[in-house]
Amino acid sequence: MAAISEYWENEHFAPAADFTPGEGGVRKQTFDAYAASVDWTDADHVARALRVFESLLRRIDRDGRKGGGDGIAGDDLAELREAFGRDGIRLGDDLRLHTAQVSRLVLHTTQLAEPSGIHAELERVRRFGAEHVDDAIGAAKQLIEATAKVVLLERGLPVDERDDLPALIKQAQKALHLHPAALPPVATTSSPDNAESIRRILGALTSAAIGVAELRNRYGTGHGRLTAPSGLRSRCLSESSVCVFAGQV
């Protein structure tokens, strides 16, 4: 029980003041009291909570091996992997948790008239990023498409569902006065908007978005294929439990 409290408090959590004990022993009640204080909508809270889970899993595995066993049993590991997998988290053989850290992108959408399409695609990226990179690439392309449509909707412009992604991107950039070929005129030549570097940056943003669409055509979901794409995997930071959702091909 002391170890449970120590791991939570090492990550700056305290038991929830309004926690109501349920069924289970003292250890479960201790764990649940701390877990109830986690704000699962806060990316920092989630990252810290996952570090607690890792520490507890390694402690359980280590204690099992000290007793002459094989650590966490295979059936238990399989059940844990399935449970974490439902939330887009991969439990590695080293008992580290790998997840696509994109939840911070779900910000500043409360003022939008219709943000549900953006949220839906972000959720797909979050769930698929660590384990199913082809799905994450497909969701990334759809996220760009959904965002472009929201821009047009917010600016009171028509949305043609027949338009392809390059056309939508161009329309959205023009609506925001961010298209490199259609920057608004400025009063002075010294304004940054007159700088060629700004036009190159905006052009690069266009190319990056279109590049995601091309990557999806080759590697992502959305098309029936004769053979499954190969060479895709998530890219993890060295010595870190965080994985980037984009594929490495």
The predicted pLDDT at position 224 comes to: 61
Q: Which residues of the chain, if any, have pLDDT below 70?
A: 1, 100-108, 128-131, 183-194, 222-249
The predicted pLDDT at position 168 comes to: 93
Q: How far is CA 167 from CA 39, 163, 174, 178, 210, in A?
A: 39, 6, 11, 14, 10
The predicted pLDDT at position 243 comes to: 47
Comparing CA positions, the residue from 55, 41, 70 lying closest to residue 7 is: 55
* CA pseudo-torsion sign 73, 74, 77, 79: negative
Report the predicted TM-score, pTM, of the whole model to 2 decimal places.
0.53
- The residue extents of the domains of the chain are 2-100, 105-248
The predicted pLDDT at position 63 comes to: 85
Separation between Cα atoms, residue 144 and residue 174, nearest integer Å: 15
Phi and psi at 2, nearest 5°, equal -65, -40
The predicted pLDDT at position 84 comes to: 87
Separation between Cα atoms, residue 146 and residue 113, nearest integer Å: 13
The CA R_g of the chain, rounded to the nearest whole Å, is 23
The predicted pLDDT at position 244 comes to: 46
